[in-house]
Amino acid sequence: MTRRMTTSLTTLAATGFLASMAAAQGFNDAPPHGAAYDQTPAFEGQTRAPVLEAGDVAVTQTVIAGGLEHPWGLVQLPDASWLVTERPGRMRIVAEDGTLSEPIEGLPEVDARDQGGLHDVSVASDFAETRRVWWTYAEPRGDGENATAVATGILSEDGTTMEEVNVIWQQQPAWASTKHFGARIVHDGEGHIFVGLGERSDPEPRVYAQDPQSTLGKIIRINAEDGTPAGAGIEGALPEIWSMGHRNIQGAAMSPDGQLWMNEHGPRGGDELNLIEAGINYGWPEATYGTDYDGSEMGQTEVEGTQQPVYYWDPSPALSGMTFYEGEMFPDWQGQALLGGLRSADIIRLDIQDGAVVGEARHAQGIGRVREVEVAQDGALMVIIDEEDGQMIRITPEG
């Protein structure tokens, strides 16, 4: 395979201690935007949970690869290399030593304007045998319109080409917008994938998040092989819809106990963490703890017939990819949720007990716009930084 070298295994100077004093860094100091409208949480602990002290360890950050243009999705392969997507439409392999491949050939065209482009990537549990890959992307539909699509293919043995590419699902309706594609993928372990979808941002399409005959602002479940609908069976809804009332899903993961969690961006404040259940309406745009970008009130915090978020943030950290920690390097983090922060430029750690957030901590503060966080095979964290000259960074306990 033709490869080129980029920055590799360079320890970031003066960053090893960035996470050592998370409790002292005041991530809850800023007043909430919603205070201007007397917003209050629906139950104790729904926001600004106590700061976690256990697990507040110093970390070392090591740049594995640089030169990635707005990387978005990340998944580790059985040989310890990584597949990473870049929003302009490229997918590459990053070897364990940081060697960066040339772009993989055979991917469909993407609409890479603004928030569009190539998004999440996932592989089959039996990838070593099947080499099956899935990805989501902003698909151009003509006349400036676009929408999220899901494709699957087989990565060639030499890693240079995606073969047998098939677009298995397309969001409807398409819209002339360059925002809120959502697009995280989660496998359910039973031959299906969940995909979290945005509602395209603008006031006109946003209302479709409440329309059961549209897949804007929804979570869908489809057959992983061919896209056959496998939704929740909601009366009057499209057959692939699993839940509705979402704004812009940016992170998703299955917890160790088999529950599906997703996070989504609020507008100005109101980023949410939701425990996803079949057939539930999560409220957007009628229910939100966010305010409009001009500071005006949006909707209500509680609307009958809609589900409250398990947890919300105000101001917004601009949540991104998420995972649950299962590894040996950070023993105090076992089973806890890890979320990337774009605006907050850190890793957000949540202790979730019995479906409720009981503590929050921040790590690697100042690292950059964390687009995705994954747990490597050896228990280290691997994050990608969403910048024009983005990086893949390995995070380990100091020493």
Dist. CA 297–CA 187, nearest whole Å: 37
Confirm if 88 and 70 have CB atoms less than 8 A apart. yes
- The helix/strand count (H/E) of the chain reads as 2, 26
Confirm if 286 and 207 have CB atoms less than 8 A apart. no
Q: Look-up: residue for tokens 């745009």? A: 285
Closest CA to 321 of 77, 119, 23: 119
Dist. CA 254–CA 261, nearest whole Å: 6
Dist. CA 103–CA 332, nearest whole Å: 38
Angle at 268 between CA 255 and CA 306, to 5 degrees: 55
Q: Note the residue count of the chain.
A: 399
Q: Which residues are catalytic?
A: 180
Phi, then psi, of 29 in degrees rounded to 5 = -75, -35
C-alpha atoms less than 13 angstroms from C-alpha of 23 in its C-beta half-sphere? 9
Dist. CA 375–CA 338, nearest whole Å: 9
